[in-house]
Amino acid sequence: MKNALNIVYLIPLLPLVGFLINGLLRKHLSKSMISVVGCGTILVSFALSIVMFLQVKNGDGGTIEYFNFISVGELTIPFAFQIDQLSSLFLLIITGVGFLIHVYSTSYMQEEKPEHFGRYFSYLNLFVFSMLLLVMGANYVIMFIGWEGVGLCSYLLIGYWFKNNEYNKAANKAFVMNRIGDLAFLIAIFWIIAKTGGVNYGEVFAFAPKLSGTDATIITLLLFVGAAGKSAQIPLYTWLPDAMAGPTPVSALIHAATMVTAGIYMIARSNVLYSLSEVSMNVVAIVGLATALLAATIALKQNDIKKVLAYSTVSQLGYMFLALGVGAYSAGVFHVMTHAFFKALLFLAAGSVIHAMSGEQDIRNMGGLSKKIRITFITFLIGCIAIAGIPPFSGFFSKDAILLNALLVDSHDGSFSIKGIILYGVALFTALLTAFYMFRLLFITFSGTFRGTEEQKHHIHESPAPMTIPLIILAVLSIIGGLIGIPDAIVKGGDKFTEFLSPVIAQRAGHPVSHSTEYMLMGLSTVLVGITIIVAWRQYRNYKRKEATGFAKVLEDKWYVDEFYEKIIVKPLHNFGGFLKNVFEKLVVDGLVNGVGRMVNYGGRQFRLLQSGQVGSYVLLMVLSMVIIFLVQFFLRK
C-alpha cells in the first residue's frame, strides 16, 4: 500500500489530460467520445482518491516532492503534494461529487453542438484539475495556483453562454470579486514569507508559535478576505447568486459542491494560525453568521429556483465559517461534506426540474410537479429534509455539531457565555429560516396545481437515466452521509469523522456538556424545524400566483391562519429580505465596489491628461521631476 503515494500525481494529471484531449480535439471527437474522456478521467481519479483515503486511514499519508518549483535565495518552494486526512477527504468529495456531475452533464448538455459540448467538458475537467491542485498542494503557493485556476474556470463556465450580455456581466462580477479575494490571499502569502521565511505548511505551522500576535492577526485576516471572496461571504458574496447564469451542472459543481468550499479548506488548513488570533476567529464567526442570516432572509423572497439554492449556498457557507470561527474546524469540514452531498443533489434535481419544464426557472410557473417527475421530486424532498436538519439525515448531524459548538464558545464549567448564547440563537433562527425557504421552494414547485403554459405541461417528463442515477446516488449519500459523525451523546465513539481528522486539526479543549443538555438541544432544534416545515406546508402547498388569483379567490380561501402567518411572520420577513436585497446589496456592497471603480476612473482620467502629446510639456514635466528628485536627494535626506 505504501507505494500508492507514488502515483498520487495521476489524480490531478488525469483531469488535465482530459482537458487537453477535449479542448484540442473537440472538433474531431464525437459527443460520446467526449463524454467518455470527460467522465472516465474523473472516475479513475476518484478510484485513486479512494486508494489514497484508505492509505491515509492506515496512517500512511505523507508529502511527495516532485521538483524544485521556485528557489529564490533561501526560500525553496517545492512542487509537492500533501496527502493527509484533510486533503484526502476533500479529494473524495471533489472527485466523487465531480464524477456524478460529469455523468449528469452528459445528458443535460446533450442538445449542445459537439464543439461546444467538448469545450464545456474541457472546462469542467480543467476546473476539477485546479481544485485538486488546490487541496493537494503542500504549500500556499500551490494552493494559490489552484485557487486562481478555479477562479478562471468559473469565469469561463459562467460566461459559457456568451451570447447573453447578462451572463457576461455575471462572469465579470464573479471574476472581479474573486480577484479581490485572491489579492488578499497573495498579500497574505508574501506576509507569511516575510515573517516565517517559508510557505510549506509544515514549516509555517512549525514556526507559527513564534509569530507575533499582530502578524498572526494580519495574516489570518488577509487569508479570510481571500476565503470570503472564494466562498462568497459578506461583502464579496453577490457574485455567487449571479453566477447562476452558468449551466445548472456547473452551478452544482462549482457554486455548491467544490469551489466555494475552497475558502473553508484554506481556513481549516491554516487552523494552527487561526488559533493564534482571537480577533480573527471572532471576525470569521461574526461575518459567517451575518452572511448566513442575510442570505437566508434574501432567499425567502426569491422566485428563481436556482437563485433560492444559490442564496441557500451562501447561507450554508456562512454556517461553515461560523463553525471555523468558534474553533470547531472538524464540524465545519463535516458540514462541507454533507453540504456537498445535499446541495449537489438539490442543484441537480433543480436542473432536472428545469429540464422537465423546458428551461423555465421561475417557480411561480411550476406547481404540481410531484406526480409527473417522481424521482426528481423524491430526491429533491430528501435534499430538503437533509438541509433542514431532520434526523437522521446528514444535514442534521453536521448542523447540530455547529450549533452545539457555537453554544459552547467561551463556556466554562457547563455554563454558557453570553456570546455563545447569542451565536447559538441566531444560528438556530437561521436554521429555521433555511427550513422555511427550502420547503417553500419544494411546495411551490411540486405541490398544488400546475401554473405554466399548456405547451410546458405537455412537455413535462422525467429526465433520462444518466440524470436520475446521480440524483439517486446523491440522495442516498444525503441520507446516510451524516452517520459517520454521530455525536458521542447518541452513540459512544460515533464521531468517526472528528476522530479521523484529529491528526491535522487542533481540537478544542472545551468542556463537553452533559448528554441530557445535548439531547435537549437536539430535540429543541428538531421540533422547531418540524414546526417551521408545517407552517411552510400550510402556507405554500396550494400556492397560487397573486396576479392570477384576484380578490374573490382570496376570500374563497378560508385560511385566516395563513393570513395571520402572512402578516405576522412572512410579510415582515419578506420585507426584510427585500430590504436587505435592495438596500444592503445594491447600495452598500455594489456601492462600495462601484465607488472604488469610480475613484480609479477619476484618477486615471486626470493622469491621462498629463500625456498631452506636446514635447515641450513632456520635457517640462521631466525637468520638474528631476529638480524635485535632486532636492529630495541632497536636501531632504538626513
Partner 1 sequence: MNALVISAVLGVVMMFSGILLKQKSAVRNVAIAGMVLLLIVNVLELCGNVFFNIDSKGMIEFDRFALLFNTIVYVSAILYLLLSARDMEKVGVNYAEYLALIFFILCGITLTSSFRSLLILFLGIEIISIPLYILTGSDKRNLKSNEASLKYFLLGAFSTGLMLMGIALIYGAQGSFDTTRVSSFQGTASPLLVAGMVLLLFSMAFKVSAAPFHFWTPDVYDGAPTVFTSFMATIVKAAVFIAFIRLFDEAFGTLQSQWQLLIAIITVATLFIGNITAVFQQSVKRMLAYSSIAQAGFMMLALYAMNADAKEGLLLYVTAYSLATIGIFAVLIKMKDYTFEGFNGFAKQQPLLAATTTICLLSLAGIPLTAGFLSKFYMLKAALGTGKHLWLVIFAVLMAAVSVYYYFRVIQAMYFKDGEVQKIDVSPAFKWTLVVVTALVVLLGVFPNLLLNWYYF
Partner 2 sequence: MPITHYIILSLALFSIGIVGVLTRRNAIIIFMCIELMLNAVNLLLVAFSKMHNYAAIKAAADQKLPITEAILNTGSEGQIFVFFIMVVAAAEVTVGLAIIVMMYRNIHSVDVNFLNRLKH
The residue whose grid cell reads 453554544 is 407
The residue whose grid cell reads 417528463 is 461
CB 237 within 8 A of CB 310: no
**Dihedral sign from CA coordinates of 530, 532, 538, 540:** negative
- Give which of partner 1, partner 2, none residue 583 binds (C-beta under 5 to 8 Å, depending on kind): none
Applying CB under 8 A, the span of 433-441, 463-471, 553-561, 619-627 interacting with partner 2 comes to 619-627
Q: Which of 32, 190, 491, 515 binds partner 1 (CB under 8 A)?
A: 190
Q: Which of 33, 40, 63, 168 binds partner 1 (CB under 8 A)?
A: 168
- CA–CA dist 185, 575 (Å, integer): 36
Applying CB under 8 A, the span of 162-170, 271-279, 488-496, 618-626 interacting with partner 2 comes to 618-626
Query: Least distance to partner 2 from the beta carbon of 622, Å?
Result: 10
Applying CB under 8 A, the span of 14-22, 233-241, 394-402, 615-623 interacting with partner 2 comes to 615-623
- Coil, strand, or helix at residue 321? helix
Query: Least distance to partner 2 from the beta carbon of 597, Å?
Result: 20
Closest CA to 1 of 62, 54, 74, 39: 54
- CA–CA dist 553, 96 (Å, integer): 49
- What angle do helix axes 262-269 and 140-158 make, rounded to 10 degrees? 170
Give whole-number Cα distances, 271 to 40, 187, 214, 332, in Å.
35, 19, 16, 12
Q: Based on the shown chain and the rule CB under 8 A, indicate whether residue 618 belongs to the binding site for partner 1.
A: yes
Applying CB under 8 A, the span of 142-150, 229-237, 503-511, 611-619 interacting with partner 2 comes to 611-619
Applying CB under 8 A, the span of 44-52, 402-410, 571-579, 599-607 interacting with partner 1 comes to 599-607
Query: Least distance to partner 1 from the beta carbon of 212, Å?
Result: 14
**Residues whose CB falls within 8 Å of the CB of residue 290, separated by 6 or more in sequence, listed in order:** 234, 318
Query: Least distance to partner 1 from the beta carbon of 168, Å?
Result: 5
* Chain residues 428-467 in contact with partner 1, contact rule CB under 8 A: none
Closest CA to 390 of 444, 330, 432: 432
Query: Least distance to partner 1 from the beta carbon of 189, Å?
Result: 9
- CA–CA dist 242, 173 (Å, integer): 8
Backbone φ and ψ for 68, nearest 5 degrees, come out as -80, 110
* Chain residues 65-84 in contact with partner 1, contact rule CB under 8 A: 67-73, 75, 79
* Alpha helices per DSSP H over 58-164: 85-108, 114-136, 140-158
**Which set of grid coordinates corresponds to residue 455?**
405547451
Q: Which of 606, 616, 633, 636 binds partner 2 (CB under 8 A)?
A: 616
- CA–CA dist 180, 168 (Å, integer): 18
Applying CB under 8 A, the span of 190-198, 418-426, 462-470, 482-490 interacting with partner 1 comes to 190-198
Q: Based on the shown chain and the rule CB under 8 A, indicate whether residue 595 belongs to the binding site for partner 1.
A: no
Q: Which of 165, 613, 634, 635 binds partner 2 (CB under 8 A)?
A: 613
Query: Least distance to partner 1 from the beta carbon of 539, Å?
Result: 42
Closest CA to 75 of 181, 182, 189, 209: 189
Q: Based on the shown chain and the rule CB under 8 A, indicate whether residue 629 belongs to the binding site for partner 1.
A: yes
Q: Based on the shown chain and the rule CB under 8 A, indicate whether residue 612 belongs to the binding site for partner 2.
A: yes
Give whole-number Cα distances, 638 to 224, 401, 627, 632, 635, in Å.
41, 61, 18, 10, 8
- Give which of partner 1, partner 2, none residue 620 binds (C-beta under 5 to 8 Å, depending on kind): partner 2
Q: Which of 415, 516, 606, 614 binds partner 2 (CB under 8 A)?
A: 614
Amino acid at residue number 132: L
Q: Based on the shown chain and the rule CB under 8 A, indicate whether residue 611 belongs to the binding site for partner 1.
A: yes
- CA–CA dist 83, 60 (Å, integer): 9
**Cβ nearer to partner 2, comparing 555 with 615:** 615
Q: Based on the shown chain and the rule CB under 8 A, indicate whether residue 633 belongs to the binding site for partner 2.
A: no
**Cβ nearer to partner 2, comparing 551 with 635:** 635
Amino acid at residue number 120: Y
Q: Which of 623, 628, 629, 632 binds partner 2 (CB under 8 A)?
A: 623
Per DSSP, 634 falls in state: I
Q: Which of 527, 620, 631, 632 binds partner 2 (CB under 8 A)?
A: 620
Applying CB under 8 A, the span of 81-89, 462-470, 552-560, 609-617 interacting with partner 2 comes to 609-617
CB 104 within 8 A of CB 351: yes
Closest CA to 202 of 308, 67, 90, 78: 78
Q: Based on the shown chain and the rule CB under 8 A, indicate whether residue 627 belongs to the binding site for partner 1.
A: no
Cα angle vertex 166, ends 162, 167, to 5°? 40
Query: Least distance to partner 2 from the beta carbon of 336, Å?
Result: 50
**Which set of grid coordinates corresponds to residue 237?**
458574496
Query: Largest Cα–Cα distance in the chain?
Result: 90
Q: Based on the shown chain and the rule CB under 8 A, indicate whether residue 145 belongs to the binding site for partner 1.
A: yes
**Which set of grid coordinates corresponds to residue 571?**
410579510
Per DSSP, 301 falls in state: T
Q: Which of 144, 224, 329, 380 binds partner 1 (CB under 8 A)?
A: 144
Query: Least distance to partner 1 from the beta carbon of 391, Å?
Result: 44
- Give which of partner 1, partner 2, none residue 104 binds (C-beta under 5 to 8 Å, depending on kind): none
- Give which of partner 1, partner 2, none residue 609 binds (C-beta under 5 to 8 Å, depending on kind): partner 2
Q: Which of 491, 619, 631, 632 binds partner 2 (CB under 8 A)?
A: 619
Cα angle vertex 218, ends 213, 223, to 5°? 125
Q: Based on the shown chain and the rule CB under 8 A, indicate whether residue 179 belongs to the binding site for partner 1.
A: yes
Backbone φ and ψ for 351, nearest 5 degrees, come out as -60, -40
Applying CB under 8 A, the span of 237-245, 257-265, 312-320, 610-618 interacting with partner 2 comes to 610-618
Closest CA to 399 of 298, 305, 312, 508: 312
Contact map string, positions 194 to 213, toward partner 1, x by CB under 8 A:
x-------------------
- Strands 75-83, 62-72: parallel, antiparallel or unpaired by DSSP? antiparallel
Q: Which residues bind partner 2 (CB under 8 A)?
A: 608-609, 611-616, 619-620, 623
Q: Which residues bind partner 1 (CB under 8 A)?
A: 67-73, 75, 79, 141, 144-145, 148-149, 152, 159, 162-163, 168, 171-172, 175, 179-180, 182-183, 186-187, 190-191, 193-194, 600-601, 603-605, 607-608, 610-611, 613, 615, 618-619, 621-622, 625-626, 629-630, 632-634, 637
